Amino acid sequence: GLVHPGGQPEPELKYALDRAVWGGGLATEVAGAMLEYARSVLGLAAVIATIARENAASIRIVERLGMTRSTPRVEDDGSITEVYTIQLNTTGSTDALG
């Protein structure tokens, strides 16, 4: 879905799938559909995705969808979270509720 975790200003793309369906392209299809919904229905200007640095499969998915790496975040536990962004509309909202 599209959420604002922890009250962050940017709408964030989040997804999770059962391991039984990994590797079949479903995550790419679902994430792509969510980005299209964010653009065409919600009119969002941009969306981010945060991914654990070691999650290479999710990094490949968002890169395939045109998201680009931004400045990583250092979490409270010291782990690194990669941040990816995509510009959807130049005049859109930054609120996931439109």
Give the domain ranges of the chain: 2-87
Tens digit of each residue's pLDDT (9 = 90 or more) over 53-79: 999 999 999 999 999 999 999 999 999
Query: Amino acid identity of 19?
Result: R
What letter does residue 61 receive in the DSSP assignment?
A: H
Q: Cα separation of 22 and 30, whole Å?
A: 12
Is 0.85 surpassed by the pTM of this model?
Answer: no
What confidence category does residue 22 fall into, taking pLDDT thresholds of 50, 70 and 90? confident
The pLDDT value given to residue 95? 56
In this structure, whether the domain defined by 2-87 belongs to CATH 3.40.50.20 is answered with no
List Cβ neighbours of 23 (8 Å cut-off, separation of 6 or more).
none
